């Protein structure tokens, strides 16, 4: 029995989710009374031994594996090979692309039960039961995994991370990557944008902004706060903002430390993607807007006045 955490990375950096992934995996292994290790496919600039502070003392790295993020089949095969060789029975993925694309493939390949977006540690008294949010975050359900090998992914910002002074031992491994079935021809990185999955602060705009020409006041606040940008669905459907900024039931589901919603009514479908945010600030000129019920802080006012004032206040800090 042992637990393996799969580290995600991109553009030479490990993803922000790694600390939570490793702390969670170490706590899970502790609860199971078993070993924990981590696997990273590819090279990064980060010093991997520093990751020992999250409680995982053993990290395996395949520096030969071209971490082709589009080639999920090859990644799946490499992880499956490692898991089988090392006799690992619990594999943990972070929230994000790997959880969406590799974890389900891996569970199919290993004939393992898979539960995505776990919140907190599994209950182990009567098997292995994982808690996750359902019905757009209106309820929680427990899913019992009945197979010997288990695959889970964890919901971001749902597990408290504690660190120590420990370091990890990094060991090189060499896995057989299957011949690629796809090739990345080019990658266009949107400069200066903080990906929503990485952003600890998100500033989001809705139809209250009236049109795309007014988005500078949203962007200015996001820039001052080093925040990611998001929007409601009608905003992206109308082409005011790109689709990758759409959050909600049918868009991205995020859980930043701070979510600032400007000119968004707070429909249930929108809340379903953002209601796990640690702190929600709502700016709306309608005091009856439903979003205020979900807000930690509410500002009743005109976004065209409030957003520039907030930006100026942040810039003066």
Which residues are 315's β-sheet partners?
A: none
What is the rounded distance in angstroms from the CA atom of residue 206 to the CA atom of residue 192?
A: 22
Contact between 265 and ligand FAD (CB under 6 A)?
yes
Q: How does DSSP classify residue 122? A: P
| H or E, element range at 150 | strand 150-154
97 CA to centre of own chain:
8
Contact between 263 and ligand FAD (CB under 6 A)?
yes
Contact between 137 and ligand FAD (CB under 6 A)?
no
- Binding to ligand FAD (CB under 6 A) within 198-217 occurs at 206-208
- Nearest approach in angstroms of CB 169 to ligand FAD is 43
Nearest to ligand FAD of 181, 309 (CB atom): 309
What is the rounded distance in angstroms from the CA atom of residue 269 to the CA atom of residue 206?
A: 13
Work out which of 34, 129, 285, 314 binds ligand FAD, going by CB under 6 A. Answer: 285
**3-state class of 158 per DSSP?**
coil
Nearest to ligand FAD of 76, 156 (CB atom): 156
Q: Which residue, 38, 84, 80, is CA-closest to 61?
A: 38
Does 266 carry a binding-site annotation? yes
- Nearest approach in angstroms of CB 214 to ligand FAD is 9
Does 269 carry a binding-site annotation? yes
Contact between 251 and ligand FAD (CB under 6 A)?
yes
Contact between 136 and ligand FAD (CB under 6 A)?
no
- Nearest approach in angstroms of CB 138 to ligand FAD is 14
Work out which of 73, 153, 197, 284 binds ligand FAD, going by CB under 6 A. Answer: 284
Contact between 250 and ligand FAD (CB under 6 A)?
yes
Work out which of 100, 176, 257, 269 binds ligand FAD, going by CB under 6 A. Answer: 269
Residue in the structure block whose two tokens are 């964890």: 154
Does 263 carry a binding-site annotation? yes
In contact, 106 and 75? CB cutoff 8 Å: no
Contact between 264 and ligand FAD (CB under 6 A)?
yes
57 phi and psi angles, rounded to 5 deg: -90, -10
Work out which of 234, 244, 308, 314 binds ligand FAD, going by CB under 6 A. Answer: 234
Burial of 189 (0-12, 13-18, 19+ CB in 10 A): exposed
- Nearest approach in angstroms of CB 94 to ligand FAD is 22
Does 223 carry a binding-site annotation? no
Edge-to-edge strand list for the sheet holding 150-154: 113-118, 150-154, 90-93, 2-6, 35-41, 58-62, 169-172
Contact between 267 and ligand FAD (CB under 6 A)?
yes
What is the rounded distance in angstroms from the CA atom of residue 317 to the CA atom of residue 313?
A: 7
Neighbours of 176 (CB within 10 A): 12
Residues that bind ligand FAD (CB under 6 A): 206-208, 232-235, 248-251, 263-265, 267, 269-270, 273, 283-286, 289, 302-304
Which residues are part of a known binding site for FAD?
207, 232-233, 263-270, 284
């Amino acid at each position: 029995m042992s637990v393996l955490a799969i580290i995600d990375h991109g553009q030479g950096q490990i993803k922000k989710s790694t600390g939570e992934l490793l702390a969670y995996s170490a706590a899970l292994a502790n609860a199971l009374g078993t070993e924990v290790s981590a696997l990273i496919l590819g090279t990064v600039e980060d010093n991997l031994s520093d990751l020992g502070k999250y409680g995982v003392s053993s990290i395996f790295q395949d520096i030969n594996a071209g971490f082709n993020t589009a080639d999920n089949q090859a990644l799946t095969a490499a992880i499956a090979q490692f898991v089988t060789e090392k006799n690992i029975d619990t594999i943990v993925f972070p929230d994000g692309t790997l959880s969406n694309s590799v974890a389900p493939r891996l569970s199919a390949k290993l004939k393992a039960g898979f539960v995505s977006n776990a919140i907190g540690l599994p209950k182990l008294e009567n098997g292995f039961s994982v808690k996750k949010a359902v019905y757009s975050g209106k309820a929680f359900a427990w899913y019992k995994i009945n197979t010997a090998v288990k695959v889970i992914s964890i919901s971001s910002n749902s597990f408290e991370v504690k660190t120590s002074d420990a370091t990890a031992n990094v060991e090189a491994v060499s896995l057989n990557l299957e011949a690629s079935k796809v090739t990345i021809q080019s990658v266009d990185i949107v400069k200066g944008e903080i990906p929503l999955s990485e952003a600890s602060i998100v500033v989001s705009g809705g139809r209250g902004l009236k049109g795309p020409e007014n988005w500078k006041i949203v962007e200015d606040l996001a820039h001052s706060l080093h925040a990611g940008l998001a929007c409601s669905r009608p905003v992206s459907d109308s082409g005011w903002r790109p689709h990758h900024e759409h959050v909600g039931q049918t868009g991205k589901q995020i859980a930043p430390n701070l979510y600032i919603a400007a000119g968004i009514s707070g429909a249930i479908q929108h809340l379903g993607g953002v209601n796990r945010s640690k702190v929600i600030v709502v700016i709306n000129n309608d005091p009856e807007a439903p979003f205020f019920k979900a807000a930690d802080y509410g500002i009743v006012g005109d976004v065209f006045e409030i957003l520039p004032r907030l930006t100026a206040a942040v810039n003066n800090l």
